[in-house]
Amino acid sequence: MAVTDRRPWLVTLWVIAASACSAGTAVSPPTVASTTGATTTTATSVPTATSTTASPMTTAAKAPTIFAVIGDYGDGGPEEAATAGMIQDWAPDYVVTVGDNAYGSIGYDAAVGRFFADFIGSYEGDYGPGADVNRFFPALGNHDYTDAGLADYEAFFSLPGDGYVSSSGNERYYDVVLGPVHWFIVDSDGLEPDGIGVASVQASWLQAGLAASPEPWQVVVFHHAPYGSAHHRGEAALRWPFAEWGADLVLNGHNHNYERFAVDGITYATVGIGRTNVPLSGNLPDPHSVFFFGDRDTGALRLTACDRAVVGEFVTVGSGVIDRFSIGSGDCSA
């Protein structure tokens, strides 16, 4: 979606006030105004117009696309297994990661293939035949460089995969259209040869891609969170003008918690809690923070996307949905 064609979207953000979210800490008042400046309302379904013809033709509603987003997960331990099992129960159309896909010397097949082989295209590991079409789209994390190694990463994954088109010409960062969402997977590690600064070759690729995208939604994914209240906090070098360039949502990891932010009128979410977590403790919340979850449990982000909206639900293994947000002018119900 070109930046010049964008209109302000109503962003509805809410936090579930239930016992399941007792470990989550809201770090701004519950009556947060829309980050676009519009009045906050509850998203409702777009009504279907009644045909006035004598013989109306019924068109089946397009089913929404379901994404699972997981990060900082790949150690092969019981926490990863539990989080991966939860994701399998969702039966998502696609899995996207925010990096750190393999820790230590475990290797990608034991850390990723063991749990997600049926999503991975061109799979040649020990855990089944893999997927006919790739449905697994990882981002590089710092542990993918330092522990497993870039060569093993590129050998294990085929990105974005057969049948897809990416404009980058490499597997370190790439883009792919999945349903109504144009995904831009960025390499945020300092070892990236095309740079991670706002004036880098990689940033220029992203800016051009966002401006040219005609899809309903543009989502940017990378590992090192630009904002954060705990653990690694935020990486100032990665505070690129994503909203100005045309992004609707930014997803990150690196910080081992879940945290949602409102920055320049769009939502950022850190989902680095696939296998472990770090509490807020005595840290002051980042001024952009809207919701924080740490202390216990692991989880992943479930995104439901249609032409009208992207609905996000952060779900933990032990407590279910503890945070929801919605981007767009409606929901994705039929």
pLDDT value at 47 more than 70: no
Question: Under CATH, which number does the domain 3-21+63-311 receive?
Answer: 3.60.21.10
| Strand, helix or coil for residue 5 | helix
User: pLDDT band at residue 209, thresholds of 50, 70 and 90?
Assistant: very high
Of residues 98 and 329, which shows the higher confidence score? 98
**Cα torsion for 107, 99, 202, 304, to the nearest 10°?**
130
- DSSP codes joined into one string, 244-289: HHT-SEEEEESSSSEEEEEETTEEEEEE--SS-----TTPPPPTTE
Q: Give the model confidence (pLDDT) of 8-44 as tens digits.
A: 333 333 333 333 333 444 443 333 333 333 323 333 3
Query: What strands lie across the sheet with 65-70, from one edge to the other?
Result: 11-14, 320-328, 309-316, 299-305, 65-70, 94-97, 136-137
Q: Give the model confidence (pLDDT) of 63-122 as tens digits.
A: 999 999 999 999 999 999 999 999 999 999 999 999 999 999 999 999 999 999 999 999
Question: For residues 253 and 272, is the Cβ–Cβ distance under 8 A?
Answer: yes
Within 8 A by CB and 6+ apart from 80, the residues are 73, 74, 111, 115, 274, 275, 298
Q: How far apart are CA 291 and CA 239, in angstroms?
A: 19
Give residue 221's Cα distance to chain centre.
6
Task: Compute the average pLDDT of residues 254-265.
Answer: 97
**Cα torsion for 324, 328, 330, 334, to the nearest 10°?**
-80
Share of the chain above pLDDT 90, in %: 76
Structural domain boundaries in the chain: 3-21+63-311
Q: What are phi and psi of 113, to 5 degrees?
A: -60, -40
Tokens of 53: 């013809």
Instruction: Look up tokens 């293939």; give the residue.
Output: 113
Nearest to 313 by CA among 328, 302, 327: 302
Strand intervals (E) in the chain: 11-14, 24-26, 65-70, 94-97, 136-137, 174-178, 181-185, 217-224, 249-253, 258-263, 266-271, 289-293, 299-305, 309-316, 320-328
Task: Compute the average pLDDT of residues 210-230.
Answer: 98
pTM over 0.85? The answer is no
Q: Give the model confidence (pLDDT) of 288-305 as tens digits.
A: 999 999 978 999 999 999
